Amino acid sequence: MSIQLQVDQLHWQINDKVILNNISFKVSKGEVIGIIGPNGAGKTSLLNSITKQVKNSANSKLTGTIHLKNKELKQYTSKQLAQHFALVAQKSEPIFSLTVTDIVKLGLLPHQGLFTLDSDHDKEQVKLALSKVGLANSSEKSFNQLSGGEQQRVLIARALVQRAQILILDEPTNHLDVFYQHQILQLVKQLKITVIMTVHDLNLASQYCQRLLLLNQGELICDGNPDEVLSKENLQQIFKLPCLLERDPFTHTPRVYFSPPHQEDEYKSSGANNG
């Protein structure tokens, strides 16, 4: 598989505080990668620096290189970058009552010049993307009145219209109930494009990502498939809680259980093992 994105020695520091510490990894075409780790580990910061949203200033210093298709990220204009990356932010609240179509249409922006009007092809693209995410009948609805899961799907449809090769999602399952969590991740996986996302829930990450990056305090602790990354040693060291590992009965991926510190002994005495 060809390398699409290559991150080398990425280091970001604000004053004396290290946000990202010499992170390196490669992303191949079509991979679904989950970035996991505790709060403040640098998950969203890593996404932001990949999408060039971090700028150097007097206090903030970003070093290292990122190559997108053999060309350094710095050489891309923001418009070119938008043709490669599509971002689904954690929270999107349009201030006025935009319709679903209004929002999906914005995905066309990186491909349009000034004064251009929507062509029939553009309109077709919007329709197609909406039907792909199962919202063909909601095109004229107000975005603000949709459920959290539907809003995420609209934003994914926008990313599809953007025709980006890499989809970046920041906590796509946040605030969603169990049904929508699985629906969104299933959808993302079926798109068959490269996906890099931060995921808070380790078990969802394990079920839907073929590769995980485990971050802690700005450092990349482990990079590999869920079985390699979700080891008892890694998890206990980073999350500072006793844990148990089992196999998910449906997907056969690793499944993690944490216990409050004082209850660990009770678990042991009740005969549970780390399977």
Nearest Cα to Cα of residue 47 among 158, 204, 196, 222: 196
Torsion of CA 20, 22, 26, 30, to 10 degrees: -10
- 102: nearest Cα among 66, 130, 133: 130
For 188, the token pair is: 């993302």
Euclidean distance between CA atoms 188 and 160, whole angstroms: 11
For another protein, the closer CB: 97 or 186: 97
- Distance of closest approach, residue 168 Cβ to another protein, in angstroms: 8
- Nearer to another protein (CB atom), residue 14 or residue 221: 14
> CB-wise, 21 or 142, nearer to another protein?
142
Q: Closest approach of Cβ 265 to another protein, in Å?
A: 46
We find the least distance from the C-beta atom of residue 172 to another protein, in angstroms, to be 14
- Closer of 94 and 134 to another protein (Cβ): 94
Task: State the residues that interact with another protein by CB under 8 A.
Answer: 51, 53, 77-83, 85-87, 89, 91-98, 102-103, 106-110, 112, 114-115, 123, 139-140, 162, 168
Min CB(193)–another protein separation in Å: 16
In the complex, minimum distance from the CB of residue 210 to another protein, in angstroms, rounded to a whole number: 24
Dihedral pair phi/psi, residue 188, rounded to 5°: -60, -40
Pinpoint the alpha helices (H) of the chain: 43-50, 78-84, 100-105, 120-132, 148-161, 178-190, 202-208, 226-229, 232-239, 264-269
Tokens of 216: 């802690």
Backbone angles phi, psi at 222, to 5 degrees: -150, 140
Cβ at position 79, least distance to another protein in Å:
4
Give whichever of 24 and 97 is closer to another protein, judged by the CB atom: 97
- Residue closer to another protein by CB (options 7, 104) is 104
